[in-house]
Amino acid sequence: MSFVDTATLRTRVEEAGLLWGLVGLVALLSLLPIGRLVVEGFAPGGQLSTTALGKALGSSATWTATWNSLVVAISGTVLSVLIGGTVALLATLTDIRARNAFTFCFVLPLMIAPQVTALAWLQLFGPSSTLLKLIGMAPPLGSRNPLYTREGIILLLGLQYAPLVFLTLRAGLRALPKELIEAGLAAGAGPLTVLRTVVLPLMTPPLVAGIALCFVSCLGNFGIPAFLGIPGNFLVLPTLIYQRLAGLGPGVLSEVAILSLLIGVIAMVGILLQDFMMRRRDFRITTTSSAARPFELGRWRVPVEILLWTFAVLVLALPLLGLLTTSLIPAFGVPLNAATVTFANYAYVLFEHAASRRAFVNSFLMSAGAAILIVLICIPLGYFIVWKKSRALRLLNLAAELPYAMPGVVLAIAAILLFLKPLPLVGVSLYNTVWIIVFAYLARFLVLGLRPVISGYLQIDRTLEEAAQVAGAGLPRRLVTIIFPLVAPAAIAGALLIFLTAFNELTVSALLWSSGAETLGVVVFSFEQGGDSTYASALATITVLVTVGLMATTTLFAQKLPQGVLPWRD
């Protein structure tokens, strides 16, 4: 007997419809692009063929770029781990003062676009460095910028992603129960012995996770090798793909599909290696309690504080100062003084240059649109993943990680492949419009919104929803009136992360932009490539101000957020 009344039936249809709608959407955003790419690599145009494969893999440029990619990614990761790991240990376990301010400053480079970082450092060290000229220390004219080298790329990658290692390690250290440290100290071990024998072994999981994240980010980074490597013809896989596509057009799509698969495979190897390392031992921590009491540095406290802040100034303030000074001079090479200082560059990029004006509007609307759409997807998605424990969505949760874990160029190529031809049935083409970028943003940043929303759900007492259910409210009504207000803080934090990341990004849009659909990243890049460093600097300065302003604003309502959703806050 399976008689069902209409009200019950409607409830079931609503819930199943929502669930399968979400499954379809996530599959569309995550599995479809990667699948399309794989198909193109091995069967371009629908027929199995190895021509493109042979062409791509037979080219010596491919292997040079692969080798370069591996070298800079691994060296950059090592540098990041050294810097981020040391700083995380010092800033989390010891009694230094002004910890929140330091964390904010140290994490800031991560939130600034890599191409802006690259631009800032170039302005700092080049022969035309406005800042060095101010103090009379600029290199002689005509000499090469020392950053236009492999070492320059490694240095900047290391500095850019050190905060990644810092953040993952710090989260792990904060979750470490204080009893474990105290038990070691009580057994007679000194602080350094405890660090070596207790803390560091238990920090293997966050450290390995940080390393993997860092490696994938270095590997996929486009902005830094584009600004530093292309002038010296030092190419890595993402810049090689960019050059091929920019120079030869969509005709070489199958070939660059292979290249992006190659970079995707390297990234996957990194992630699988992480997984393998984690399985070998048991790192589970059994108790949970408050965070450990910081080690007292005693007379070393002030020197360590000076060291940390000097470092923060060196990697954050100086480059930004370089950027700022360059943005204030009338032409590249002119020294900055009271007579030459001008805001003309800002006026130009804000009001005169058409593409740059469009880019502001585009980047703002696309980032905000992607942030809002993703949050609207993630709230019901998180509901099914966390509370309904839907198996299909748990798998898709992993799938949603894929487009973000993969280097940005991989997703960009996949998006081109998907939308080069007009959409079937409707006959509308998304290629060469802003919509292809919006699609790529949705796919790539979905997981940035999903993570905070999931941690938000985990911290909400589910009986709040059950109480509404008993009161007779169906799922759609519960989502709107009860669940949305409760996860809103976490969702807003996620939306802000998405907005900031998308507003600054270049990797995806460098391959997807078209006239009329420029993004800020693309415009900064083309200014710099065209030799207009002053305009590029002015535009970059504005994006940094927007980023820092938004970060500071969110910090104001950090108290209302679930723990750990804002990377730069405890």
Give the nearer residue to another protein in terms of CB position, either 388 or 394. 388
Q: Please give the radius of gyration of the chain, using alpha carbons only, rounded to the nearest integer.
A: 25
Binding mask 423-462 for another protein (x = CB under 8 A): --------------------------------------x-
Closest approach, Cβ 44 to another protein, in A, equals 49
Give the nearer residue to another protein in terms of CB position, either 197 or 459. 459
Closest approach, Cβ 485 to another protein, in A, equals 4
Closest approach, Cβ 460 to another protein, in A, equals 10
Tell me, what DSSP letter sits at residue 296? P
The region that residue 432 occupies, defined by phi over 0 for left and psi between -120 and 50 for alpha, beta otherwise, is left
Give the nearer residue to another protein in terms of CB position, either 133 or 478. 478
Cβ 432 vs Cβ 517: under 8 Å:
yes
Closest approach, Cβ 470 to another protein, in A, equals 5
* Residue 295 three-state SS: strand
Give the nearer residue to another protein in terms of CB position, either 296 or 466. 466
Give the nearer residue to another protein in terms of CB position, either 184 or 382. 382
Closest approach, Cβ 71 to another protein, in A, equals 51
Give the nearer residue to another protein in terms of CB position, either 478 or 569. 478
CA 304 – CA 315 distance, rounded (Å): 17
- Which single residue is written with the structure tokens 């042979």? 54
Binding mask 2-21 for another protein (x = CB under 8 A): xxxx-xx--xx---------
Give the nearer residue to another protein in terms of CB position, either 2 or 60. 2
Give the nearer residue to another protein in terms of CB position, either 14 or 401. 14
Quick count: other Cβ atoms within 10 Å of Cβ 396?
23
Give the nearer residue to another protein in terms of CB position, either 247 or 485. 485
Closest approach, Cβ 492 to another protein, in A, equals 14
Return the bridge partners of 295, or none. Answer: 94
Give the nearer residue to another protein in terms of CB position, either 151 or 466. 466
Closest approach, Cβ 260 to another protein, in A, equals 44
Give the nearer residue to another protein in terms of CB position, either 325 or 390. 390
Cβ 368 vs Cβ 411: under 8 Å:
no
CA 372 – CA 124 distance, rounded (Å): 37
Closest approach, Cβ 480 to another protein, in A, equals 12
As a dihedral over the C-alpha atoms of residue 286, residue 291, residue 297, residue 301, rounded to 10 degrees, the angle is 140
Closest approach, Cβ 14 to another protein, in A, equals 10
State the SS3 of 87-135.
Answer: HHHHHHHECCCCHHHHHHHHHHHHHCCHHHHHHHHHHHHCCCCHHHHHC
Q: Which amino acid is residue 202, in one-letter code?
A: L
Closest approach, Cβ 282 to another protein, in A, equals 24
Return the bridge partners of 94, or none. Answer: 295
Interaction residues for another protein, span 457-516 (CB under 8 A): 461, 463-464, 466-474, 477, 481-482, 485-486
User: How many residues bind another protein, per CB under 8 A?
Assistant: 26
CA 494 – CA 477 distance, rounded (Å): 23
Closest approach, Cβ 462 to another protein, in A, equals 9
Calculate the alpha carbon distances from 414 to 31, 337, 358, 365 in Å: 11, 49, 25, 23
CA 332 – CA 138 distance, rounded (Å): 14
Query: What burial letters (b/e) apply to 171-209, b meaning 16+ CB within 10 Å?
Result: bbbbebbeebbeebeeeebebeebbeebbeebbebbbbb
Quick count: other Cβ atoms within 10 Å of Cβ 43?
14
| Of residues 473, 171, 117, the one with CA closest to residue 320 | 117
Per CB under 8 A, does 137 bind another protein? no
- The footprint of another protein (CB under 8 A) covers 1-5, 7-8, 11-12, 461, 463-464, 466-474, 477, 481-482, 485-486
